[in-house]
Amino acid sequence: MFAVGRGPRDTFRGRMHGYGSSGFWKAVGEGLYECADHVRAEAHRSITAGSQSGKNHKPSAPGQPPNNDTRTLADSGHVVQPGPTEARVVFDAPYADDLEFGTSKMAERPFLRPARDKFRPKALEVLRKRINAALRTE
């Protein structure tokens, strides 16, 4: 008589079964929220880095992130999760869209898209770690 252990096929089947579990989708949602929060933090950092408020405030150059003056823009950033597998970074200062995309009279001063692009390579790793941890505990 011989004993049969878990082979690669059994391991694979077990992991595939885990993808249908609520723990998997919870991990996806948590990972997306974590990624969005990293993007929010990087956008906040780009707005506040090196800027001065008050009489020493200097507007940013076109194409550069806006310089912080009143902290309204920087403090208006937050993450929302409209669904279990969605996460959005929102800056709801009244002029956030005008700065990010520009207007007919003002060049764009993007802060959110560069933050997203900077974190993009790390985002997959964050999601991978969350999902693998969830599948290991199933």
Instruction: Count structural domains, the chain.
Output: 1
Question: In one letter, which amino acid is 90?
Answer: V
Report if residue 17 sits inside a domain.
yes
End-to-end Cα distance, the chain = 31
Q: Which domain holds residue 24?
A: 12-137
Contacts of 61 (CB under 8 A, 6+ apart): none
pTM: 0.78
115, 39 contact by CB (below 8 A): yes
Report if residue 7 sits inside a domain.
no
**pLDDT tens for each residue of 15-50:** 655 566 678 888 989 999 999 999 999 999 999 886
Report if residue 104 sits inside a domain.
yes
pLDDT at 113 over 80: yes
pLDDT at 1 over 50: no
Report if residue 5 sits inside a domain.
no
Report if residue 1 sits inside a domain.
no
